[in-house]
Amino acid sequence: MNTASAVAPALNPPVRILMGPGPSDIHPRVLEALGKGTVGHLDPYYLEIMNDMQRMLQALLRTKNTMTLAISGTGSAGMEATVVNLIELGDSMVVCVNGVFGGRMLDVATRAGAKVTQVEKPWGQTFKPEDLQDALQKAKPKVVGIVMAETSTGAWQPIEEISKLVHDSGALLLVDAVTSLGGVNVDVDKWNIDAIYSGSQKCLSCPPGLSPVSFNQRAMDVILNRKTKVQSWYLDVTMLAKYWGSERVYHHTAPINMTYGLYEALRLVHEEGLESCFARHLLNHRALKAGLAALGISYTAEEGHQLPMLNAVRIPDSVDDATVRNGLLNRFGIEIGGGLGAFKGKVWRIGLMGYGARANNVFVLLSALEQLLAEQNHRFDHGASIAAATAVYSGK
């Protein structure tokens, strides 16, 4: 018997259409980039790749921030990096919670030693400036954290007015853009965002493993004037700055081939053009929404605040959550996400992210859903979802 096969079987992952909350389908060019020859993390070629990737990230984030880089880790590492660099023990922080990932930021801030004030809204709703006024006056926070695209509810949080209120109070604004970056406009400089983080595996259609982050000069001044060292050696921006800056001082062995992947993913976004990319996500969202409405399926987020790339929808009362999701996966090779927390068993989360935001995915999903819902005796006009989506694509 072959020794390798006796230890473990050969890799043979199933073919899936990834339409969950992430990871998303990977573009073939990104997969090809991941397989390029590995060089050293201080090789002159790799350092040029870092420079070019940094410029592409700045353009995507619409920022001139010098401290814009990709943290070696998933989006949660980006969350932790931004929080632990800005927060010292005893600092006041306000965290906006309207879903799972606002709650996660709150947990990270508490672990970092912040005195946290939680401002809550019901799941699916967004924050208005007046929702934060009392907390800002009472807590006088150093940092205010908010999620732009709440992946657990599909809620799209406006940032600009919140940003003005936060800065008028003297605080720094920290934004979670894990799901939003690459799918909708994220304008760091115009919106006066002090620190922001994202992930590689959502609308950038790259495998999970890197977290784009950016700090403006105001945030960097706070970090550089800390009284204590950053709690995390690995995520200390003052050290990472020396590796990503002109000094190129060794900090850690960067994930070379993941950098290749994100580099190519960013090239694809910029080749398409940001506005065209955002328009594509919105069009496919509108088609899916029309198709789901024809099946009697509604959204969890408020009208006007529904994310185009993450469609969180209510499961009809007569339909079993697990039966449909298992049927999609095992019979049609389609992955969608279930609900989290308060939405567990009540919500499906359907991703149309990056390379996955395309018409054939919308039609394949709607067709499969029609069959599975019919088997559960859910009432709808057969073929109605396809007709509704087609009308959107044809401009009717």
pLDDT per residue as tens digits for the range 169-218? 999 999 999 999 999 999 999 999 999 999 999 999 999 999 999 999 99
Q: What average pLDDT does range 120-148 have in this prediction?
A: 97
β pairing state of 195-197 and 172-176: parallel
What pLDDT sits at residue 4? 61
Strands 155-156 and 149-150: antiparallel
Domains and CATH numbers, the chain: 28-270 (3.40.640.10), 273-393 (3.90.1150.10)
**What pLDDT shows up at residue 329?**
98
Q: Coil, strand, or helix at residue 253?
A: coil
pLDDT of residue 2 exceeding 90, the answer is no
Asked if residue 366 has pLDDT above 90, the reply is: yes
**Given the structure tokens 């910029």, which residue do they identify?**
270
The partner residues of 94 in beta bridges, in order of sequence, read 117, 144
**Whole-prediction pTM:** 0.96
Average model confidence (pLDDT) across the chain: 96
Round to whole Å and give the CA distance between 323 and 327.
6
Q: How confident is the model at residue 5 (pLDDT cuts 50, 70, 90)?
A: low
Total Cβ atoms within 10 A of residue 380: 16
Confidence of residue 31 (pLDDT cuts 50, 70, 90): very high
Q: What is the pLDDT of residue 1?
A: 52
**pLDDT in the model for residue 396:** 73
Residue 3 DSSP symbol? H
pLDDT at 389 over 90: yes
State the pLDDT confidence band at 219, using cuts at 50, 70 and 90. very high
Predicted local confidence at residue 245, as pLDDT: 84
Kindly state the tokens that stand for 381. 């006009």
Task: Characterise 41 by phi-psi region: left (phi > 0), alpha (psi -120 to 50), beta (else).
Answer: alpha
> Does 6 have pLDDT greater than 80?
no
Residue range 240-244: mean pLDDT, rounded? 89
Q: Is the dihedral of CA 119, 122, 124, 127 positive or negative?
A: negative
Extract the tokens encoding 8: 């473990």
Distance CA 351, CA 344 (A): 17
pLDDT of 78 > 60? The answer is yes
Rounded to whole angstroms, how far apart are CA atoms 174 and 253? 27
Percent of the chain with pLDDT over 70: 99
| Contacts of residue 259, Cβ cutoff 8 Å, sequence gap at least 6 | 46, 49, 50, 53, 70, 210
How does 201-237 read in b/e, with b if 16+ C-beta sit within 10 Å?
bbbbbbbbbbbbbbbbeebbebbeeeeeebbeebbbb
63: left (phi over 0), alpha (psi -120 to 50) or beta: beta
Q: CB under 8 Å to 193, separation ≥6 — which residues?
A: 159, 163, 173, 174, 175, 214, 216
What letter does residue 54 receive in the DSSP assignment?
H
Phi/psi at 156 (nearest 5 deg)? Answer: -105, 110
Q: What whole-number distance in Å separates Cα of residue 36 and Cα of residue 43? A: 15
Closest among 93, 203, 229, 110 to 151, alpha carbons compared: 203
pLDDT at 3: 63
SS3 at position 109: helix
